[in-house]
A and B are shown apart, each in its own frame.
Chain A
């Protein structure tokens, strides 16, 4: 079956530009996570949805970052007024239920470069 997909795979933005990153989770998966992965580091949690409800956004680094999942499936991570420090790979993951023991299924990521 189809896995988690993300688009675009690569995005180059000029500093100050707004960007939108899309995640299509596995169909039927309740939970959706966004992570930021800097070069040479592990994924760092940004935000978590259970269906359309954003249950945790404690990892969002600033109010320039905003995420939504309006219909409980596709999610969009928006970054306003991008800065150079936003350059990273943004990973999306989904899991079947809302359990802490669930396996997360990751997408390929979007590599964002801010010039």
Chain B
């Protein structure tokens, strides 16, 4: 069974600091990779996703993620965080082809101090 690890469960940063949230998965085949975000009081929503092509993916609000196949990783980055980035971030993976069931990591809680 595939699993997803998010090593940082709680991250606290000051505004303008750089962010990198780790995501590693265990699955040897073709994968589709997602980052979802849940802002306080809101639904989970897609931040970005990768399924083929350029391994550096850009998403909404200045976020990007890089798929490194050899490391089974899909880390999320933002060069300069804002207070409004305070949220819960979830990495999710599904096996490509017909495997549509995603496995989610346990999430990283990000708090950005103004």
Contacts and interface: CB of A to CB of B under 8 A. Distances in A.
A62 interface: no
A100 B96 CA distance: 6
A41 B43 contact: no
A101 B32 contact: yes
Chain A residues touching B, majority SS: loop
Q: How large is the interface on A (under 10, 10 to 19, 20 to 34, 35 or more residues)?
A: 20 to 34
Contacts of B51: 100-101
Q: Which 6 A-B pairs have the closest CB atoms?
A: A42-B104, A106-B44, A101-B51, A100-B100, A103-B46, A106-B43
Interface of B: 4, 6, 32, 34, 36, 43-46, 49, 51, 90, 92, 94-107
Interface of A: 3-4, 31, 35, 40-45, 48, 56, 59, 91, 93, 98-109
